Structure 1
Amino acid sequence: MLHIPPLSALGCRIVIFGPSNSGKSTLAAALSDKLSIPAVHLDQLHHQPHSNWVPRPREEFRALQRAAIAEPAWIMDGNYSALTQERLARATGAIVLDENHWLRLWRYFRRTLFERNRHGALQGSQDSVKWSMIHWVAVASRHNGARYRAMVDDTNLSRVYCRSMAEVRQLYRHWNLKHPRPPT
């Protein structure tokens, strides 16, 4: 049974972790709409706009994240383990999504091929299907949900762990979240 605290218990600085294509950016956008708190998609900070997911220089990304977490309120989705502790130190609540790797792989193909204007996409993205990403989703990140839960367990943050799409839908219903429209 999924334990869902009141949304207010997560505060105004919420981190969302989860394997690639688990729904982090969409949930961040839904929470942003509900709470009128800006959503920060770490993929957009980590990668250069108008590229095919080309990373920014490490220090530039670190500076962008530090500026974002210094803000009084945010909903931040993404992992980037090297900077996780900085986010957790400022966060007031955490959500960890974990989903079947086959479903996440299907989402990767769908979003890469058909959803150019999705939450968390790069501005002017030149996205393409990549073998490295297929391997990452299907094999390498299969057990990352447990790693993210362990990181959050080491904090005193109010938290929610969703281990399936059914639990994510339950979370949306419980908090009366609406599936956000794609950005324009």
Structure 2
Amino acid sequence: MSILDSLGPRICILGPSNSGKSTLAEAIARKRGIPAIHLDQLFHQPFTDWRPRPEAEFLHLHEEAIAQEKWVMEGNYTRCLAPRLERATGFIVLDVSTALSLFRYVRRAWFERDRRGALEGSLDSVKWQMIHHIAVVSPPNRRRYVEIFERISLPKVRLATTGELNRFYRAERLDG
């Protein structure tokens, strides 16, 4: 049995911003024939410059999404992580460096127009608020994600470097 098979039909992916969660979720979804759910798309209103939905609406969309029989769901939103993990059958945490996250953010904002997990009708642009989030807010969050990973009893995978992520793609025959 492959590592991916051991994660079951409902896989939760956590990791810092711009760590590759959306790309990995899409690759797993294609391979397994299950829906990829991008929490940023549930949290933000489409055709806006990343304007949040009302909290109650987001939580309702999150509930509907986790109630599905099969999914690979990426995004953090730890305030609603507990019910997501109760439904999850497997867990992946990406733990890439802050420098790599910043590089990927700038690259995606300037060069990627059809990015996986992008907000419908919105173009990414470099924003100081997002740079601050990646450089200042994400490092403590990254440590929390690893602590969650260590405590969780689900089948799980931790991918902490680009090399580990690339080896996972190859071993699981994911076309990223």
TM-score (norm 2): 0.96
Aligned amino acid, residue 53 of structure 1 = W
Q: Within the alignment, does 1:64 sit opposite 2:89 as a pair? A: no
| In structure 2, C-alpha distance between the alignment counterparts of 1:127 and 1:97, rounded to whole Å | 22
1:119-140, Cα deviation, whole Å (9 max, x unpaired): 1100101432211100111222
**Superposed CA RMSD:** 1.4
Q: Within the alignment, does 1:7 sit opposite 2:7 as a pair? A: no
Contact 1:51 1:127 in 2 (8 A): no
Name the residue aligned to 1:21.
18
Name the residue aligned to 2:172.
175
What is the aligned residue count?
A: 176
Contact 2:9 2:71 in 1 (8 A): yes
| In structure 1, C-alpha distance between the alignment counterparts of 2:125 and 2:94, rounded to whole Å | 24
Name the residue aligned to 2:35.
38
Contact 1:116 1:125 in 2 (8 A): no
Aligned amino acid, residue 141 of structure 2 = N
Name the SS for the 1:22 alignment partner.
coil
Aligned amino acid, residue 88 of structure 2 = A
1:94-141, Cα deviation, whole Å (9 max, x unpaired): 000011111110111111122121111001014322111001112221
Name the residue aligned to 2:133.
136
| In structure 2, C-alpha distance between the alignment counterparts of 1:165 and 1:113, rounded to whole Å | 21
> Identity percentage over the alignment?
51
1:72-97, Cα deviation, whole Å (9 max, x unpaired): 00000000010011110100000000
Name the SS for the 1:140 alignment partner.
helix
Of the three residues 48, 52, 66, the one matched with 1:51 is 48
Contact 1:105 1:138 in 2 (8 A): yes
1:12-41, Cα deviation, whole Å (9 max, x unpaired): 000000000000000000000100010000
1:134-174, Cα deviation, whole Å (9 max, x unpaired): 01112221242221122233332000001111110011111
Name the SS for the 1:89 alignment partner.
helix
Structure 1 segments of 4 or more deviating over 3 A?
none
| In structure 2, C-alpha distance between the alignment counterparts of 1:112 and 1:52, rounded to whole Å | 13
| In structure 2, C-alpha distance between the alignment counterparts of 1:81 and 1:33, rounded to whole Å | 26
Q: Which runs of 5+ in 2 are unaligned?
A: none
Name the residue aligned to 2:73.
76
Of the three residues 90, 95, 100, the one matched with 2:87 is 90
Name the residue aligned to 2:110.
113
Deviation at 1:6, TM superposition (A): 2.1
Deviation at 1:61, TM superposition (A): 0.4
Question: Comparing both structures, which one devotes a greater share of its residues to helix?
Answer: 2
